[in-house]
Structure 1
């Protein structure tokens, strides 16, 4: 009958959709587990340090550890990803450094998928006045990235932190010659310095 024929066609269409659904699921699983642990590719950090000049300054926004507390990883994952994306623009398409940076970006995005994005956005808004914009030498910058990835690997994901009061004045930093201490995780300079033009397009 016509009803039976239509019913058979409907079942056939549903069966044809199954392989596509399985393919979609496998693709998503590959995205989530392709890079395994956040520390799987940390051996690439040494290569990045070796290839970039020690005075190469990288812009980044971050909340210091002593301010963020146990929410340090959650508050800094997204700003680090944005910083790495800007850094990749300084390398050619065939650069091995660009390839390594893109891998770390994918790892951070995989970590980001584990979060409740609404909770992260609210937490980042609470700590908004504590984010610091700085230009960091390449060595300390990649040390900071490595520490953050190790924290993510240990599952240090806390959303329950209470921010301290906002600073009354904008915080300034002194040069290493003026003090023996540096902000945790990052060494900084007093005045942000632009990256020399000679380093704006590195090929390796």
Structure 2
């Protein structure tokens, strides 16, 4: 068992009962080929929650500051995370993300770029649209609904793939594509709250 699978197993054993995690729509995630999982961002615990609630091994981007401490750097590298500089266009991170997708893997993104302090879904950054337009990846929206307390169940809802053909045909910009992705995430969350 590699470190990623071991870490996912340990986190699942702890988090699933602790937060009463309920997963919906995981069958929307293709079992093979490049896929981009785009989720809202409400907590530092979101990456492990997305990591344990779907069948794919996911490569996550993580803010560069987390890689400054040696132990964290070793841990993050071992679970397939790679750094991104926030607040600027990071060409190395963009190249790494495209390589992950071109190699047929899953890339996990939180398009808002930072956690929502209110729980409301904010506007996403253009990076998600960039990866969607520059790769052949299937784009799966995901909504984390609830909070990380024991009072309620935490729901992780994966939506159906977002069709990219029309967006490419209409020559949509990366930001416009990200806006479409974020709208889908909002719809999933709103439907989950009904």
Instruction: Answer whether TM exceeds 0.5 for this pair.
Output: no
Which has a greater percent of strand?
2
TM-score, structure 1 normalization:
0.28
Which has a greater percent of helix?
1
TM-score, structure 2 normalization:
0.29
Answer with 1 or 2: which has the greater Rg: 1
